Chain A
Amino acid sequence: DIQMTQSPSSLSASVGDRVTITCRASQSISTYLNWYQQKPGTAPKLLIYAASSLQSGVPSRFTGSGSGTDFTVTISSLQPEDFATYYCQQSYSTPRTFGQGTKVDIK
């Protein structure tokens, strides 16, 4: 199984900050990488698919990049509604594994 490791596990940031979350795969997955955002008590929401394609309706302050084993999602200017937990997930092979999550909270 492909292991997905996110860093950091949590971070504190302020509104307006630039935030970057990293996801590393245990083997090369090309660009078969998706990102989700989850707020407490709600279902995850797709943000980015295929490493860098922004899902319809997602603000342009979210940017995904990477290929192979190393990926990032960047929030260019953190907004109050962005405080949440973020998960990466690989679709290169089954089982489709998730990272452990990165919680972004208010500094």
Chain B
Amino acid sequence: QVQLVESGGGLVKPGGSLRLSCAASGFRFSDYYMSWIRQAPGKGLEWLSYISSSASTKYYADSVKGRFTISRDNAKNSLYLQMNSLRAEDTAVYYCASDTYSNPIYYFEYWGQGTLVTVSS
């Protein structure tokens, strides 16, 4: 069955860096766009970034542009999020999700269980 498993979360000091990973299985990862979405404690969902299936196209929310970098390795069925210059407001559960396309719309069909990132001194 389809699985997305995030890892790499933890406690980091303001200004620090963290790299999240998302391991995919059970579907043809290389065919899918993928996204990162986060949820601050007690808050709603915030889309952060997507990457095309070939990694040729990437897009970021303004809140993370210039600080976060999305990447993927299709040979390893893995998605990554490099997070630099972390701030307290980046504290959240981070989800990876498949950006499934069904003409003409994209939707987040498969989700990981999430990994918690806490930014605090």
Residues of A with Cβ closer than 8 Å to B?
31-32, 34, 36, 38, 42-46, 49-50, 53, 55, 87, 89, 91, 94-101
Contact = CB atoms under 8 A, between A and B. Distances in A.
17 contacts: A31-B105, A34-B105, A36-B45, A36-B108, A43-B114, A49-B102, A49-B107, A50-B102, A53-B102, A89-B107, A89-B108, A94-B50, A94-B59, A95-B62, A96-B35, A98-B46, A101-B45
Nearest to A85: B44
B40 to A, nearest CB: 12
- Chain A binding surface SS class: loop
B45 A87 contact: yes
Contacts of B27: none
Contact of B44 (A45, A53, A87, A95): A87
A68 to B, nearest CB: 15
Contact of B108 (A32, A42, A46, A53): A46
Nearest to A38: B45
Nearest to A53: B102
Nearest to A97: B47
A76 B61 CA distance: 36
Nearest to A6: B44
Contacts of A97: 47
Contacts of A96: 35, 47, 50, 106
Contacts of A46: 107-109
Interface string B63-96: 0000000000000000000000000000000010
A45 B105 contact: no
Instruction: Report, nearest first, the 8 A-B pairs whose CB atoms are least far apart.
Output: A43-B111, A49-B107, A34-B107, A98-B45, A96-B47, A91-B106, A101-B44, A50-B105
